[in-house]
Structure 1
Amino acid sequence: MSEGANIVIRQADGEDLTEVLEVGHKTWPVTYGPIAGDDYVAMGLAKWWTQEATIPAIRAGRVTVAEVDGRVVGMTSVGPSEGHLNLWKLYVLPDQQGTGLGGRLMRAVIDKAVEDGHDAIRLSYILGNDNAAQFYEHFGFVETERESGGSGMPDNVWMQLALPQPGEDA
């Protein structure tokens, strides 16, 4: 990212669909290929990085993007699950990783969750993704459980971040 780049963190809209999908298709192979293999990458892209899987989240206002000089280079997606707010996706293009954009996206997710009155954020990452583990721990997430992937799939590590409640210091 160049010095003086115009960085915007904002809610995604329908015009962002192609670039949001591109983030997934460019990050998944380099992130998960070495950890879980090409079959896992192909399954994940076919299941979670399609128009059919992404359009409803964008329409529901659950996708946030990081834009640098008008180009989407990172994204998050949140949603409800079993009465909790889950962070389902947080990805930054490989050539933009290490620039602080992931942190900006995470802070946007946390701020919105607090604003919306959630008491915690849950997420999971696949065992072996040490970069994800360190990133989430940096923001105060703590491991809550491990879940077997089964059928040759990698195990998931679940984490949670307790959020400040009204009247508490953040």
Structure 2
Amino acid sequence: MSDVTIRQAQGDDLQAVLYVGHSTWPPTYGPIAGDDYVAMGLAKWWTADATIPAIRAGRVTVAEVDGKVVGVATVGPQDGHLMLWKLYVLPGQQGHGIGQALMAAVLDQAREGGFAQVRLSYLDGNTSAARFYAKAGFEEFDRECGGSGLPDSVWVRRSVDPQQQTGEAR
């Protein structure tokens, strides 16, 4: 596999970022939460209107292989923590360390921003997300009832060591 480049998303990455979302959501959430949930999520979170402000604010990181965007991470501050809102890698590129490289960049962003924790949620039943985040040092601290037949949201967090820079694959 070629080298992975991790960098801040630029305006001309918009279509590639949206492509990652539209390619990952159906196989990730369809089996867990159903097609209606997938359609709602794509319409709400994976549109130009929802993504452009995050890119402009410098909150979107992309992973490139051979000049093609194959992964995305989106963060933002909330309640004194750095929230990881999105971390997705194209299905054909998973298992090659791209998600780990994006996570390293997120942890570096947390340190640079002075955040003590990174927090995120994933849907109960998303076993690959559960394994990935556990391996990255995240621990469950809460659950939120999904309601209307949807799976619960599992909330996890990881403390950030302000002295340690990961710098992996950057």
Q: TM-score, normalised by structure 2?
A: 0.93
Instruction: After superposition, give the CA deviation of every residue in 1:61-114 in whole Å (9 maximum; x if it has no partner).
Output: 000000011100000000122232100000000000111100000011111211
Distance 1:67 1:97 in 2: 13
Instruction: After superposition, give the CA deviation of every residue in 1:25-44 in whole Å (9 maximum; x if it has no partner).
Output: 00000011111111110010
Residue type of the alignment partner of 1:76: A
Q: 2:21 aligns with which of 19, 24, 35?
A: 24
Instruction: After superposition, give the CA deviation of every residue in 1:43-67 in whole Å (9 maximum; x if it has no partner).
Output: 1000100001000000000000000
Distance 1:89 1:47 in 2: 13
Distance 1:84 1:110 in 2: 12
Q: Which residue of 2 aligns with 1:49?
A: 46
Q: Which residue of 2 aligns with 1:155?
A: 152
1:18 Cα offset (Å): 0.1
Distance 2:136 2:3 in 1: 25
Does 2:119 correspond to 1:119?
no
Distance 1:37 1:81 in 2: 28
Residue type of the alignment partner of 2:152: D
Distance 1:80 1:19 in 2: 24
Query: Is the CA contact 2:80–2:115 (under 8 Å) kept in the aligned structure 1?
Result: no
Distance 1:132 1:48 in 2: 18
Q: Which residue of 1 aligns with 2:64?
A: 67
1:154 Cα offset (Å): 2.2
Q: Secondary structure at the match of 2:151?
A: coil
Q: TM-score, normalised by structure 1?
A: 0.93
Residue type of the alignment partner of 1:33: G
Distance 1:13 1:36 in 2: 32
Distance 2:40 2:133 in 1: 24
1:169 Cα offset (Å): 9.3
Which 4+ stretches in 1 moved above 4 angstroms?
none
Q: Which residue of 1 aligns with 2:12?
A: 15
Gaps of 5+ in 1: none
Instruction: After superposition, give the CA deviation of every residue in 1:95-149 in whole Å (9 maximum; x if it has no partner).
Output: 0011110000001111121122110000000000011011001111000000012
What aligned pairs does 1:124-143 form with structure 2 within 5 A after superposition? Answer: 124-143=121-140
Q: Secondary structure at the match of 1:151?
A: coil
Q: 2:75 aligns with which of 70, 73, 78?
A: 78
Aligned length: 166
% identity of equivalent residues: 64
